[in-house]
Structure 1
């Protein structure tokens, strides 16, 4: 019997299989402190009731992802005792045995199936959209995802799969489903808030506007209700426990400052460099500028006030700069919200 799989689907499946083989080879490689973070979250969500997830301070690896990711960790923890009971016990062992490493590595690889499914959906009618399928194959073989997820240790492939699934729904014209899936993504990792303004502008214009006042308001309420239901499912238990302030402080630790760890600055590394150069030059010119204790070469998250010369950058400043940088995309989404452009 002839295969019904399209060439694109077959190519994606083979690419995913090859990538999975490489991921398995990477199991014993270097791991960062993020491995310890997620190993602790696995135990935390299994051993403690939900009302203690965002208040527990018995470890420095405190839970600082939104509740859906905590539920995800809880789901991953359920079969863990069958492998090793210490995987879900608190306190966790200081030196993880190989069974811990293998189990967590395999959970990342398994969760990448969502990434594969989303790529296959986006590639399903690649000819009609004239999308280069090579781009989708490169998602499955992304060096960044391999390094960050399967060496450093995170779950970004799973989260990227949610994002691509949401984009697929929007591209198909299923705006309500796309909005609900994106809301689920925000309740899993709030880093994706950076895409929220574009989503809001696109959905407001494409789903709600241009359909008459009554129908437009009805659609706005329907979309709002769907998104609100997702956020309620995620956060309602913690509202009930009276812990929303604690949850917010965990998710948005503004008190750490702009550069709480060496990987965090991104664009702001240039601001740091300029500050250090100015401080060096002013000290050479005889100005009395103290050399701070703060370091940008340590991996642990912590509080810091690192700037010697330049002013401290506030959260509202970074927010306004992000919106300004996104302005061309927001204008595009508002003026010409076409499904074929959303990806």
Structure 2
């Protein structure tokens, strides 16, 4: 009898090469995202070590004091008094002027501060409170908001974006995440100047991701929450409205689809505004705080149409506030309209991202009472398009940083400004992502170098040279005009890109092409 090897009843399982590669890639991707997250947190902590808006500058201090004061008001007064002028709540001293979700956020942060440092939110006695522990806790609330809302939303968006976009290369995924999480403008404003834009922008990012993954009802709810945190989120509203309407019109029961979206929107707003729906007066009290028309069409030097052209046309002298409200409304709607028409006519996902940028940019350039910090809103969709339009994204970041430089210099944030500027340039030119795509390839290198040199000269002159006594804001006007001209060029280019034939094809046509 021949002796042979006994065959095993359960032969060893073999793993194919694609499975091994997928396993390795997944683990390396997760490790890469973890490193990016930790690095982004470290950068935020480093910026938080520097001064903030209104530090040691009584009697009104600045945005830091406004946020702290809202915590003081919300945890010491009932909700019906948060937006009402009373002896305990003087609205002239940083009265709440954001929607109820900001008030609820202030309430929960105020509980945290009261637990660790009660003096920091003591009613009426804490004005201008700037103890070390108080500042540490305030910085911590921003970082926690960032980590809990903006960071997960960005990872959600990047995951969705690279799951449907055939042009999105997997090798660009980490770089794209870096570009969004390490946006120098957002970090400088939230963790330097001191605000909570990360919450509304994070909710908007999650809403965009949900809609790109065809979860329209979830996306609508998230965007309504963003609107209820900061009313400036309305910059994105025309794009959301037009894209979702265009999708509904292409379904079997368009009226039912529109009603479903309307119920989600109505229900979300009703839930957030619940404490102020018991009477018309209570509702109007809150609403009146959200529209600061009494401040005029512009307040500070900002690179939009009204402020830039005011050098030649004295808008505030020539027109009443009512007339300027109408003018700004017409200008804003007119510049948004082409983008909205394209989204209703051909609701594609690429078109939606371009529409978000075009509509938010139109609001920034032409709407009533715009602040320097409002440039963060069009910057968000620009970062969504960073892989498709890398040069435009870089150009936009440079212009946006320059437009905010006077504000950040007043806050003594020149050092973190320069550091983040340099860090962005290094990360932007990281290997593995093509940066000469699109409009960049048509611009000579010498012209790009000249523009960078001009920007450097402007920064140096602004810091070192004293303007003429007759024109104390001369340099701010120059920066404003230069940035405005570049913003207009970007707006024109992105509108043309949205209307390009390759973007007008419907989602169904795109799927057919893939097949």
- The interval holding the TM-score normalised by the smaller chain is 0.7 to 0.9
Measure, in 2, the Cα distance between the counterparts of 1:211 and 1:145: 38
Taking a change above 3 Å as real, the CA distance of residues 309 and 19 of structure 1, as seen in their structure-2 partners, is same
TM-score by length of 2: 0.56
> 1:240-259: CA deviations, max 9, x gaps?
15312211110002122112
1:167 aligns with 2:177: no
Structure 2 CA distance for partners of 1:323 and 1:13, relative to 1, 3 Å: farther
Question: Is 1:26 aligned with 2:60?
Answer: no
Separation (CA, whole Å) in 1 of partners of 2:31 and 2:155: 9
Counterpart of 2:195 in structure 1 is 154
Counterparts of 2:24 and 2:108 in 1: how far apart (Å)? Answer: 35
Deviation above 6 Å: which 4+ runs of structure 1?
A: none
Name 1:118's counterpart in structure 2: 153
> Equivalent of 1:256, from 284, 291, 295?
295
Deviation at 1:163, TM superposition (A): 0.8
Query: In structure 1, what is the equivalent of residue 305 of structure 2?
Result: 267
- Contact 2:48–2:191 (8 Å) recurs in 1: yes
**Which consecutive residues of structure 2, in runs of 5 or more, have no partner in the other structure?**
1-22, 54-61, 354-515
- Say whether the 8 Å CA contact 1:179–1:227 is kept in structure 2: yes
| SS of residue paired to 2:277 | helix
Distance in 2 between the 1:12 and 1:143 partners? 19
In structure 2, the residue matched to 1:44 is 73
Instruction: Name which of 86, 92, 102 aligns with 2:119.
Output: 86
CA offsets, 1:283-322, max 9 Å, x none? xxxxxxxxxxxxxxxxxxxxxxx73457765212212211
Specify the alignment match of 1:77 in structure 2: 110
TM-score (norm 1): 0.83
Q: Specify which of 224, 228, 246 is matched with residue 205 of structure 1.
A: 246
2:256 corresponds to 1:218: yes
User: Which residue in 2 is equivalent to 1:307?
Assistant: 316
Q: 1:146 deviation in Å?
A: 1.2
- Per the alignment, residue 281 of structure 1 pairs with none
2:313 aligns to what SS in structure 1? helix
Counterpart selection for 1:196 from 234, 237, 248: 237
1:104 and 2:145 aligned: no
CA spacing shift, 1:13–1:332, aligned 2, 3 Å: farther
CA contact (8 A) 2:206 2:222 kept: yes
Query: Would you say the 8 A contact 2:113–2:121 is kept in 1?
Result: yes
| Cα distance in structure 1, aligned partners of 2:182 and 2:340 | 30
- Return closer, same or farther for 1:240/1:310 CA change in 2, 3 Å cut-off: closer
Distance of aligned partners of 1:267 and 1:19 in 2 relative to their CA distance in 1, 3 Å threshold: farther
Alignment partners' CA distance in 2, 1:8 and 1:267:
43
For structure 1, the residue ranges without an aligned partner over 5 or more in a row are 277-305
Q: Within 2, Cα distance between the matches of 1:93 and 1:145? A: 27
Q: Distance in 2 between matches of 1:270 and 1:136?
A: 34
Cα 1:163–1:195, aligned 2, differ >3 Å: closer, same or farther? Answer: same
Separation in 2, partners of 1:331, 1:7? 43
Whole-angstrom distance in 2 between the partners of 1:8 and 1:62 = 45
Identify if the C-alpha distance between structure 1 residues 188 and 6 changes in structure 2 by more than 3 Å, giving closer, same or farther.
Answer: farther
Work out the number of aligned pairs and report it: 310
2:90 to 58, 78, 83: 58
Question: 1:185·1:192 contact (CA, 8 Å) conserved in 2?
Answer: yes
Higher relative contact order (CA 8 A, sep 6+): 1
Quick check: which has more Rg, 1 or 2?
2
Q: Please tell me whether the aligned partners of residues 170 and 342 of structure 1 are also in contact (alpha carbons under 8 angstroms).
A: no
1:227-272 CA distance string (max 9 Å, x none): 001111122311215312211110002122112x315673322122
